[in-house]
Structure 1
Amino acid sequence: MSRRTAAVAAAAGLMMLAACSNSSSSGGSGGSGGTSLSYMTFNSPSLTPAFWKASIDRAEKKTPGVSIKQIVAPSTDRDSYAKQLQASGQFPDLLQSITPSQYTDAGLLKPYDQTWIDDNFLLPQGNAIKGKVYIPPTNSQIIPLVFYNKSLFTKAHVQAPTTWAQFLQVNEKLKSAGITPMELGGNDPFAAAMPLTGAISADVLGKNPQWIQQRQAGKVKFTDADVVTAAAKMRTLVEKDYFEKGALNVSYADSIKNFNAGKAAMYPMGSWYLGSIPKDQWSNIGVFPWPTDDGSVVVPFAVGGSMAVSTKAKDTAKATDFAKAWSLDPDNLKALIEGDGAYPMLKGKSLTDYGVTVSPAFTDSYAFVTKTDTKVSSIGWATNDDALPGSLNNDFYAAAQALFNSSDVKGQMAKLDSAWNTATK
């Protein structure tokens, strides 16, 4: 994720960017004849150009008469790019892993048939907006978990904590042992915000799962005492020097490398990190949920999904057929499970059905998805009715970065209230 750019870029620059994305990334197997549909994707360390080509090829074969023109977003901030394309009259026919709430009010997305959703997914309303599903709920993530290096924990004579007080004690003992307690990757705003996401999701939404809905109704605010207290926890971690030195200058990519190399003992990150654990470290990387004051387990949860269908698509019926084929492809889920740490949410399938090989950390954390526990929307990551309005996700991430240099926690929360009011005018 990178901070959202302005909604409208300079026309010439945008046209050049879109052209480069198209020309460098098109080429599914069904390229001749039929209905040509544009499909916006994105690249990541696990979702590579080879993954997209193979997945598009398979879905094209299952939807005769469709050929796909792939458009690759220049960063993982799909929403900013999609809005730029929309502003220039190039809104894609199909869009991968966007935030539907940012488009539904404008009538840009076509909802899926609810019967098909109910028949195929474990949580059919997991990412529904006002009762309608705009991206199939194919997978889920926990954002964040806390991953830890078992060898470094043993060296410092500490164990995985369950309460916030224990968490602080673990950090302090690691620091005293000459071990960097936490890796962060704060140069990327979404990564910088992981501790803030964990604290507010666990402490605020954990006690009041309807908090986002109540904020929409104006009944609660970010400046309320409980939110400020939760946000202050991140500032505490900063003030006690528990993150690596120069954390705001460390990129997300480098944070993975650093943690995998044993340069820090803990790493708060979304469950997608599971796909980046080196196999020679599988037995050495453990995981625990973000700790709460009383030790209760609160899981900051986000139901992910595959692709949205534009109401402006050249052929919405064929676009929907392609999207359905792609979404139910077990090979796609296998790649997402192994490479992106996604927890599968298709009905009637277990992990063994996908033929995957996963780490103990995956199995341990997946148990939080399948067990009965307190699941709440991960603030800043939800794609359902708990999604933050407008570009507030990025304002939330920016507030986390600001807390590295400012002790005015309530002031940063006040900025979020102001941004919310602006976004919902």
Structure 2
Amino acid sequence: MIRRCLAAAAAAIALLAAGCSHSTGSGNDSVTLTYLTFNSPSLTPAFWQTSIANAQKTVPGLTIKQVVAPSTDRDSYAKQLQASGQFPDLLQSITPSQYTGAGLLVPYDQQWINSNFLLPEGNAIKGKVYIPPTNSQIIPLVFYNKKLFTQAGVQPPTTSAQFLSVCAALKAKGITPLELGGNDPFAAGMPLTGAISADVLGKNPQWIQQRFAGSVHFADPDVVAAATKVRTLVTSGYFAKDALNVSYADSIKAFNAGKAAMYPMGSWYLGSIPKDQWNDFGVFPWPTDDGSVVLPFAVGGSMAISAKAPDVKAATAFAQAWSLDPANLKSLIEGDGAFPMLKGKTLTDYQVTVSPVFQQSYKFVTDDNKKVSAIAWVTNDDAMPGTLNNDIYAASQALFNTDDVAGEMKKLDDKWASATK
């Protein structure tokens, strides 16, 4: 997500180097494992402290030394650590495909995966699971302010044409149609992720695999047409003023304050709706040309295990305990808008209190509809090679400043070629 801060990274690496010694052995010997985490508005230092302590108790003799990434861009930081010979023993919510080719990760026991998760293959890579599929997200949904929709006399759109009409009606009433935290690339990428996932993958769910095979390209007319829709939203003045200068955090504050009518964001935004505003918002999927429901879906999970961990058995036991801890899922559901994917459980089992818009969003997960890979977000076989995730986010930012949509899509093909050499 958010790009790394080099100074903070250097300091964190130095701290890790000073504290990553460990003892190995068998029996009652102790072992220390390093665990790469990250902080966010929902996943706070207090959350990590409690969740680590609870899982650590299940593995006698184990000590966990937490390593906090300087931003939520875990992959960039993990690669820095790897380059300096300090690859962590456990890594939270990384993109496994960026490490499996080098043999850096250990897959989980498939029987354990099958026994505990609703979609055991949800984030599998070539049939192996490197991150337990504990939860899922829709990336993006479009959240809307009910009061502002009523003021403009509009209803949630289902088609692309209706979406533009709604934006026009809102603007005519002096209401900003769309909020965007465009200064943070991952947030800026939401419209392009939505458009390509809905228009391209919605019609051809195998598109990403065909891109790997070289039979389709970003420069193809259908992808350019989807990206052009984003450019049209920009040139029509439907985004908040200076959208590229607005941070992700400030975009949430602005939308919650009623400064814009709609907000395309991953379903984790659900955890950022104040309780006294739970009834103020609704949600709809990114609209398609024909009005069909297409959900850009990503199965998330907990931690990956390093193949070089000093005690893979202890690392696995800790990771399994953490992944199945209901308290962790409760925090992720309430604070990060995660949709739980553990077998044999309902929301009631987690003792959570969630908003009506959460319930509405979660129904998209449980309903029978077309779910496709949220491009630039999934961690399974459809994961982007190299830095294509970041490149797609950057392309979405570029669409705020150029009419050369085809050229921006061609750049993605060039990046793909470089990443797959």
* Residue deviations 1:296-330 (CA, integer Å, cap 9, x gap): 00000000000000000010010000000000000
- Structure 2: distance between partners of 1:33 and 1:358: 43
Q: How does 1:125-164 map to 2 (within 5 A)?
A: 125-164=121-160
1:42 to 38, 43, 58: 38
For residue 200 of structure 1, what is the aligned residue in structure 2?
A: 196
Q: Is 2:182 the partner of 1:186?
A: yes
1:250 to 243, 246, 249: 246
**TM-score (structure 1 length as normaliser):** 0.95
For residue 375 of structure 1, what is the aligned residue in structure 2?
A: 371
* Residue deviations 1:83-125 (CA, integer Å, cap 9, x gap): 0000000000000000000000000000000000000000000
Q: Which amino acid aligns with 1:19?
A: A
- Structure 2: distance between partners of 1:58 and 1:230: 46
1:339 to 335, 338, 347: 335
CA shift at 1:15, angstroms? Answer: 4.9
For residue 91 of structure 1, what is the aligned residue in structure 2?
A: 87
- Structure 2: distance between partners of 1:161 and 1:121: 34
Q: Is 2:250 the partner of 1:234?
A: no
For residue 24 of structure 2, what is the aligned residue in structure 1?
A: none
For residue 25 of structure 2, what is the aligned residue in structure 1?
A: none
Decide which moves more: 116-125 or 57-66: 57-66
For residue 360 of structure 2, what is the aligned residue in structure 1?
A: 364
Q: Which amino acid aligns with 2:411?
A: K
- Structure 2: distance between partners of 1:167 and 1:14: 42
2:398 to 386, 398, 402: 402
Query: Are the equivalent residues in 1 in contact too, given 2:134–2:302 (CA < 8 A)?
Result: yes
For residue 14 of structure 2, what is the aligned residue in structure 1?
A: 19
4+ residue runs over 2 A deviation:
2-5, 13-17, 19-24
Pair 178,33 (structure 1): closer, same or farther in 2 beyond 3 Å:
farther
- Structure 2: distance between partners of 1:15 and 1:380: 27
- Structure 1: distance between partners of 2:338 and 2:284: 17
CA shift at 1:371, angstroms? Answer: 1.0
Percent identity, aligned pairs only?
75
For residue 29 of structure 1, what is the aligned residue in structure 2?
A: none
1:303 to 299, 302, 324: 299
Q: How does 1:265-304 map to 2 (within 5 A)?
A: 265-304=261-300
* Residue deviations 1:335-379 (CA, integer Å, cap 9, x gap): 000000000000000000000000111100101111110000000
Query: Are the equivalent residues in 2 in contact too, given 1:163–1:295 (CA < 8 A)?
Result: yes
- Structure 2: distance between partners of 1:266 and 1:42: 28
Q: Is 2:62 the partner of 1:66?
A: yes
Q: Which amino acid aligns with 1:179?
A: I
- Structure 2: distance between partners of 1:33 and 1:330: 29
* Residue deviations 1:261-299 (CA, integer Å, cap 9, x gap): 000000000000000001111001100000000000000
- Structure 2: distance between partners of 1:2 and 1:217: 30
For residue 2 of structure 1, what is the aligned residue in structure 2?
A: 2
- Structure 2: distance between partners of 1:322 and 1:189: 33
CA shift at 1:62, angstroms? Answer: 1.2
- Structure 2: distance between partners of 1:15 and 1:239: 41
Q: Which amino acid aligns with 1:243?
A: F
Pair 260,23 (structure 1): closer, same or farther in 2 beyond 3 Å:
farther
- Structure 2: distance between partners of 1:416 and 1:23: 40
Q: Is 2:392 the partner of 1:393?
A: no
* Residue deviations 1:124-143 (CA, integer Å, cap 9, x gap): 00000000000000000000
- Structure 1: distance between partners of 2:244 and 2:340: 33
Q: Which runs of 5+ in 1 are unaligned?
A: 25-31
CA shift at 1:63, angstroms? Answer: 1.4
- Structure 1: distance between partners of 2:130 and 2:112: 12
CA shift at 1:19, angstroms? Answer: 3.3
CA shift at 1:16, angstroms? Answer: 2.8
Pair 155,49 (structure 1): closer, same or farther in 2 beyond 3 Å:
same
Determine helix, strand or coil for the equivalent of 1:376: strand
CA shift at 1:14, angstroms? Answer: 5.4
CA shift at 1:33, angstroms? Answer: 7.1
- Structure 1: distance between partners of 2:336 and 2:182: 20
Determine helix, strand or coil for the equivalent of 1:219: coil
Q: How does 1:166-181 map to 2 (within 5 A)?
A: 166-181=162-177
Q: Which runs of 5+ in 2 are unaligned?
A: 20-27
- Structure 2: distance between partners of 1:386 and 1:209: 10
**TM-score (structure 2 length as normaliser):** 0.96
Q: Which amino acid aligns with 1:399?
A: A
1:352 to 338, 348, 354: 348
Query: Are the equivalent residues in 2 in contact too, given 1:4–1:391 (CA < 8 A)?
Result: no
Query: Are the equivalent residues in 1 in contact too, given 2:9–2:77 (CA < 8 A)?
Result: no
Pair 334,413 (structure 1): closer, same or farther in 2 beyond 3 Å:
same
Query: Are the equivalent residues in 1 in contact too, given 2:197–2:296 (CA < 8 A)?
Result: yes
CA shift at 1:65, angstroms? Answer: 1.6
Determine helix, strand or coil for the equivalent of 2:192: helix
Pair 113,244 (structure 1): closer, same or farther in 2 beyond 3 Å:
same
Determine helix, strand or coil for the equivalent of 1:38: strand
Determine helix, strand or coil for the equivalent of 2:57: helix
For residue 106 of structure 1, what is the aligned residue in structure 2?
A: 102
Determine helix, strand or coil for the equivalent of 1:62: coil
Q: Which amino acid aligns with 1:225?
A: P
Determine helix, strand or coil for the equivalent of 1:197: helix
